[in-house]
Structure 1
């Protein structure tokens, strides 16, 4: 892994803290403002809906215009939104603040992934390290959010802007490093080949199914584990940390397994194993639920960086578009389904809502069986 990819990975952690911060804020919204399941799922939707819609647009834009400057700007925007979400007690203003954070996240991922691809020389192992940065950011979110909000309540949310400032400084250093190495931070590797849109769209559907499971679980796992274990906000924060930290393990594991088994085979095995693991989250008794939360997190993130490199190889002439969909959409679009889960939880119960997520790894596994292994990255990815 090059120094540039390492710095971009640290910056990736800085921005993805704010994706993990939104679920981490949910228990405090329930405690202080007495929001119901539908209300808190609406807040999660705010972080993901705008991001899901505009992220592919940003990706297409980066295929035409290089915008490295947008990376630190979008990172600070993501931090500002979360920092403002606890100011005041208006639900619409909270929703808009979280939506602003989602917009920043949307602008970040396509250009950052394009630069990481250029800096890594096309290696999916190096890309797994870049993706790992985001997973670490997710894992750090409850560790950062819970102590601050436990001490000062939602009114302390402006302190959550600090990681954005630090991540922005690291990202500026990464851009300078890439400029020194290539002569231009906007430069990217020349790509050849034919864009395979039908296969890419099948991969996109897999990403959407995965995202529905992960975002739905991240929105409600803290409340679910509190119910199962009889613990308070700390038990919920631990569950989120397990979920997000397991993702970091899965990302590195995915890069290793893909080197031995191939990417598409790794995808199929991961999604097949997710099915019983998710059943364990729903029905495991007591504190044993933590084990299955960790298993689901690892298994859902084994394919994460592989989605990115597969998408970039299926669309070799549209790296920004592929990155915007596979890296950005992967962690945002599932929020669109979260209000439906919230409604099911209010009409029935939270277990029923989580049980409905079981169908999506099944669908992802079935579609993953139709994906071909691109020949392009077999040589590039082994570097």
Structure 2
């Protein structure tokens, strides 16, 4: 198995490729961030219910979550470097659709293109980060993931600076970012293709050898890891999609003011994502995963009961601690199944994370039936499920 791990890693960490794919990840996830950023505008102009807002989030994330493992499974067998720019092009089409959507159903259709673009991009992007990592897997995955998390974190800023002043038409401005992304990802794809040509026969041969047997312990660890990411993504769905409405209703903030609070949570998550990777390289991946969930649990329980002045400090702490395991879970899963990098990345970043979209629909329905405060209370208990991470095998037992 050690040989299988080494066969996809170059002798040195390829920082130029890592930063390039991280920038591509930033641009890709900025397209995704447009969707929650435009929620307050669509909710007001199209008179959407909270459940309809949840369905839009569901359409985005489920398209990505279902298709990411599918694309990952396919590209594990037949790597496809130029899926990277093609995914960005699909997101560009989604931006055009959002800008001119006349009703809820066209919004859903446009969001499907954005989700498809994400599904195409992520497995191959994670594979590029894995190939360019050298021995610094945690750091490499952190660099890659921090680009995407930064793009997602900008959703509240997009609301304030783009969609409040320009409305739906503001989505057109993101087609320029998509065009830049296509050019950048063509450069990454060229490097990726050269690497495949240089060692494709060894990769296929040894990946097939590592894929022959999957132990019960590995299967259990993968199922548990997916469950933990699901719990984390349900919490993020509650904060990212609905907390802005909770701030407006409960604390009487304006749309613009509410965005800065949500931004504090998201940008703290970006910082946590970056530092989590190097910490895992030094202290162990299982330890970081466990501490990220258990450490954020008491703060999450406290959040619904504090005054407005405590929201941002708690958001910063929760976002940083909880997201410190974001990139770590991907590396942990890749080392569980080193011959299936694309599929595993799709399962963790795509399926498990995207299944949190079910949470957006469920939470939206609960908000319509009960209240926004009720769903915030429900969300506050989710990080407690992280206690189950203690059942994961130690890092040394995966070698």
The 1:186/1:68 distance shift into structure 2, 3 A limit, reads: farther
What's the CA shift for 1:166? Answer: 1.4
| Corresponding residue for residue 61 of structure 1 | 74
Alignment counterpart, residue 77 of structure 1, candidates 68, 90, 96: 90
* Equivalent-residue separation in structure 2 for 1:225 and 1:30 (angstroms): 15
Distance 2:202 2:40 in 1: 43
In structure 1, distance between residues paired with 2:129 and 2:398: 15
Match of 2:124 among 111, 119, 124: 111
Counterparts in 2 of 1:83 and 1:275: CA distance versus 1, 3 Å: farther
Match of 1:126 in 2: 140
After superposition, the C-alpha distances for 1:44-69 in whole angstroms (9 at most, x for unaligned) are 11111222222211111111111110
2:112 alignment partner in structure 1:
99
> In 2 relative to 1, CA 188–112 (structure 1 residues): closer, same or farther, beyond 3 Å?
farther
Structure 1 CA distance for aligned equivalents of residues 322 and 127 of structure 2 = 23
Give how far 1:244 is off: 2.0
- 1:157 is the counterpart of 2:171: yes
Instruction: Pick closer, same or farther for the CA change 1:180–1:246 going to 2, 3 Å.
Output: same
Q: Deviations over 1:156-192 (max 9, x none)?
A: 3222222211122112222234456675597996557
CA contact (8 A) 2:27 2:177 kept: yes
Equivalent residue, structure 2, for 1:204: 226
Instruction: State the secondary structure of the residue aligned to 1:21.
Output: helix
> Shift of residue 255 of structure 1?
1.6
Matches within 5 A, 1:221-300: 221-300=243-322
- Mapped contact 1:228–1:286 kept (Cα < 8 A): no
Structure 1 position 29 matched with structure 2 position 33:
no
Structure-1 residue corresponding to 2:329: 307
1:305: Cα distance to partner?
0.6
1:358-369 paired onto structure 2 within 5 Å: 358-363=380-385, 365-369=386-390
Please show how residues 364-379 of structure 1 align to structure 2 within 5 Å.
365-375=386-396
Q: Which deviates further from its counterpart, 259-268 or 183-192?
A: 183-192
Deviation, 1:34, is 2.1
The answer to whether the 8 A contact 1:272-1:361 is kept is: yes
Return the TM-score normalized by structure 2. 0.88
Of 100, 107, 128, the match for 1:87: 100
Question: Quick one: which of 240, 243, 260 aligns to 1:218?
Answer: 240
Q: Counterparts of 1:293 and 1:83 in 2: how far apart (Å)?
A: 33
Deviation at 1:338, TM superposition (A): 1.1
For structure 2, the 5+ residue unaligned runs are 1-12
Deviates more, 1:314-323 or 1:276-285: 276-285
Residue ranges of structure 1 left out of the alignment (5+ in a row):
379-383
Query: Partners in 1 of 2:305 and 2:187 — Cα distance?
Result: 47
**Who is 2:5 aligned against?**
none
RMSD: 2.3
Q: 1: CA distance between counterparts of 2:108 and 2:332?
A: 34
* Structure 1 counterpart of 2:57: 44
Q: Is the partner of 1:120 in helix, strand or coil?
A: coil
Taking the aligned partners of 1:167 and 1:293, their CA distance within structure 2 comes to 31
Aligned length: 377
Paired with 1:187 and 1:266, the residues of 2 have a C-alpha distance of 35
1:192-220 deviation digits (Å, cap 9, x = unpaired): 75542221121111111111111222111
Deviation at 1:139, TM superposition (A): 2.0
Q: Distance in 2 between matches of 1:153 and 1:187?
A: 51
Cross-structure match for 2:22:
9
Residues 56 and 325 of structure 1 are in contact (CA less than 8 Å); yes or no, is this contact kept in structure 2?
A: yes
